[in-house]
Amino acid sequence: MRTARRGHVEVAGLTWRPVGRREPVLRDVTLTLRPGERVLLAGASGAGKSTLLRALTGMLGSLEPGDLEGDVTLDGVAPGDRPGAVGLVLQEPGSGVVAASVGRDVAFGLENVGADPAGMPAVVERSLTAVGLGDLPLDTPTSALSGGQTQRLALAGTLALDPSLVLLDEPTAMLDPACAAEVRAAVAALSADDPRTLVVVEHVLGPWVPLVDRLVVLSADGRVVADGPVEEVLDTQRDVLLAMGLWVPDEPAPAPLEVDPGLLAAVPSTAGAALTADPLAVDRTVRLVDGSTRTLRAATLDEPLGASPGDLTVLVGPSGSGKSTVLAALAGFLDPVPDGAVRLGAGEHAADPRRLGAPALAARLAWVPQWASSTLVARTVLDEVLTTSRALGRQGPAEEARALALLDALGLAPLAAADPRHLSGGEQRRLAVAAALHHGPPVLLADEPTVGQDRHTWAAVVGLVAAHRAAGGAVVAATHDAEVVARADRVHHLAAPPRPPQEPSTRVPLAARCGPLALLAGAMLGIPAGVVSPHWSTSLAVLAVQVLLAVVALAAPGPGRAPAGRARRVLLRTVPGALAALSTGWSTWWLAGHDVDTALTVALRVLVIVVPSAVLLPWVDPDRLGDHLAQRLHLPDRPVVATAAALQRVHTFGAVWTEIGRARRVRGLGVRPTRPGEVARHLAASTTGLLVRTLGAAVELAVAMDARGFATARRRTWWAPAPWRLRDTVLLAAAALPVAAAVLAR
């Protein structure tokens, strides 16, 4: 299939109506893309651009049911016929990352088509070089990449399967300008040497114009309304494109929306700054793969910051300079160094935001994070706007009327009764800012409030912020947007704190050198060891053997720096078991007529069962576990890959949980341990929020994986082998020693 004449796409009369919608999302779309053509696909928000891309991958209808008419072919066959023939890069960096290391991630498609593992590294290297990531070692953790690098990694992952058609769905919408330029450079290099057909969806057209030949425009009701050479369409359709909210080259930013400051509650007037911060730093403790922890400086604010009523203060700096981190410290979500460096209000009313209860914090401060969807707390759009006012005890028809008028000004009035989670990204962004400001907080903290937004939402957000300032509110924003910076009274430049060079720890604990199956089996052997122990004296002996073995398992012989924090880690993981041992022992003592012997026996039994797990399980690596489950135990490939991918992301769930908690707190929804109702509501909302985000991530990842041949991966090969080695046998034998000790002692 490797010819210059490939990538010919025919879309004929494509109409698509998902189940549950009265109107089709795409209507009678007919398009011919010539091999090697580079196409920019644009349209109003909700115009079905992403849906059309999905149709081009051949996956439309497999994800949600609906009525599909018409035909899509790639080089005369259905697009899904050859796995990987259509490459897809999604909007959110990292949404398609499958593996923990760069090399394995790029090789994912090759594994799915059953390529010979011996040939994989060469293809992987070539693909990485093609996107400008050739310098990265193949074992670089995917989590260590910047947003721009992650998007280029996704592109490399599609290139490994030599696609005839590459689809990019707003690949730079969530990136800062420098990262966005990296991604565009990679895309430009891609179509230069080896012609592939390319389709990019974007609403900031300017930077892409030099890279494409043709511009196709979809209307809000899903029809192709313009199609032709890019310069020509830009000339003739300028007004149409502007009306759709697209960023057209050489067109100044739109005038901010006029929002009556009276629609926002009056900001209580304060003497002096509403928020002051001394020069501060924020430290972040990270846990490294070897179990040690390191405290790194995540951000520094070098000059004092004062946000006075009516002022706009902006934080600027490259990605990774810690703008979001400083904002989170200003909101009291993170501890600043020195302690108490941030104060809300002035004089005798000054307060540390970390010390305020949720309603008191919400009364003084609002915060809009970059992911607007994560701050949604209510079930209707109107309730969302009223949430904080209600939490502050301000109820009544006047509040409601003001909220409705505010929604009306933002074009959201028809959606007042809708569930905010069903809104588009732009609508959610407008809603998030309106909901943050309705109660008139003296300070607004906004993280990249305009990034990735179309002209309509841009004008609305900038207009809202202006209204807030006119009402006497102060604003601190982290931004890359030159138009926003131009409106600022003060600009703080942040730079990434210098990172001390990290000494790699070359010594790995003995347990970590063993395979995942041996580790799991070794942990399992704690069960019989605990249960066969008849008396606490036996259990004590068994426990002693286990502790000795643990010391050996955690030893890390060899030259170089020793990994730190091993013992602490094991102790931490024994805590649940120790608590259970105590409580079980106590209840047994109570029930068994205050018999200390029985109680001790039961308590120690619990410890014997738990200790091997605490020592061995932390060293189970998800990717290697997948390798071994599939290649050693011959479990079915696809569930194994899915499980490894899920294990990979478990740590991100904690971050989502924290973020939901922050959003609720700053909206005035607190959790006081003395109020069971509040605790229950908070737990329910956080759990649902976590599951909603998890399910969203699963759908995105499934789409990305299918575009790399996972749907048809029946006989996969594996990037890494899964050997059972002598050390694994030794570990098993050692883990059986406590069982033997218990049996002998009986």
Partner 1 sequence: MAITTDAPARRSVTATGRLASWRTVDIITVAFLGAAFGIVFWGWAFAYEPLSKLVTVAYVPLTGLFAGTWFLAGVVGGLVVRRPGAALFCEVVAALVSMLPGTQWGASTLVSGVLQGLGAELAFALLGYKAWGPGAAMLAGALSAPLEWVFEVVKFPASWADLPVLGSLAGGGGWYAELVLRDKIAYLGALGVSGAVIAGGVGWLLTRQLARAGALSAFPAGQEVREARAV
Q: Binding marks (x or -) toward partner 1, 702..721, rule CB under 8 A?
A: xx-xx---xx----------
Which listed residue (10, 28, 69, 251) binds partner 1 by CB under 8 A?
Answer: 69
The position carrying tokens 């580790």 is 519
Q: Identify the residue among 210, 272, 560, 654 touching partner 1 (CB under 8 A).
A: 654
- Binding-site string for partner 1 from residue 546 to residue 585, where x marks contact by CB under 8 A and - marks none: --------------------------xxxxxx-xxx-xx-
**Region 11-40 residues binding partner 1, contact defined as CB under 8 A:** 18-22
48 in Cβ contact with 66 (< 8 Å): no
Among 138, 288, 496, 743, binds partner 1 (CB under 8 A): 743
Q: Total binding residues for partner 1 by CB under 8 A?
A: 86
Region 604-633 residues binding partner 1, contact defined as CB under 8 A? 606, 609-614, 617-618, 620
Q: How far is the CB of 414 from partner 1 (least distance, A)?
A: 12
Q: How far apart are CA 664 and CA 328, in angstroms?
A: 14
What single-letter amino acid sits at 628?
Answer: H
Rounded to a whole number of angstroms, the minimum distance from the CB of residue 488 to partner 1 is 37
User: Quick one: 62 or 324, whose CB is closer to partner 1?
Assistant: 62
User: Does 97 contact partner 1 by CB under 8 A?
Assistant: no
617 Cβ contact list (under 8 Å, min separation 6): 519, 520, 523, 573
Residue span binding partner 1 (CB under 8 A) among the ranges 62-70, 102-110, 347-355, 364-372: 62-70
SS3 assignment, position 480: coil
Least distance to partner 1, CB of residue 152, Å: 23
For 159, the enclosing helix (H) or strand (E) is: helix 147-159
Residues 180-219, mask of contacts with partner 1 (x by CB under 8 A): ----------------------------------------
Per-residue DSSP letter, 204: B
Q: Is 380 in the site for partner 1 (CB under 8 A)?
A: no
Tokens standing for residue 39: 């196409």
Asked if residue 7 lies in contact with residue 164, where contact means CB atoms within 8 angstroms, the answer is yes
Cis, bond preceding 338 (omega within 30 deg of 0): yes
Per rule CB under 8 A, is residue 68 in the interface with partner 1?
yes
CB of 694 to partner 1, least distance (A): 5
Helical pair 425-437 and 381-391, crossing angle rounded to 10 deg: 20
The Cβ-side half-sphere exposure at 327, using a 13 Å CA radius, reads 28
Q: Closer to partner 1 at the Cβ: 392 or 642?
A: 642
AA letter at 114: G
Q: Which residues contact 581 (CB under 8 A, 6 or more apart)?
A: 603, 604, 606, 607, 610
Among 370, 366, 379, 467, residue whose Cα is nearest residue 423? 379
Site string for partner 1, 517-546 (x = CB under 8 A): ---xx-xxxxxx--xx--------------
Rounded to an integer, what is the distance from CA 219 to the centroid of its chain? 30
**Which 632-651 positions form the footprint of partner 1 (CB under 8 A)?**
638-639, 642-643, 645-647, 649-650
Pattern 676-705, partner 1, x by CB under 8 A: -----------xx-xxx-xxxxxx-xxx-x
Q: How far is CA 582 from CA 546, 570, 606, in A?
A: 19, 18, 9
DSSP 409: H
CA distances from 300 to 66, 278, 311, 327 (A): 52, 11, 22, 11
CB nearer to partner 1: pick between 108 and 247: 108
Question: Which is nearer to partner 1, 204 or 525 (by Cβ)?
Answer: 525
- Which of 35, 62, 238, 470 binds partner 1 (CB under 8 A)? It is 62
By beta-carbon proximity to partner 1, the closer residue of 421 and 727 is: 421
Measured from the CB atom, the residue of 84 and 322 that comes closer to partner 1 is 84
Give the integer Cα–Cα distance in Å for 134 and 155: 13
**Dihedral sign of CA atoms 659, 660, 665, 670 in order:** negative
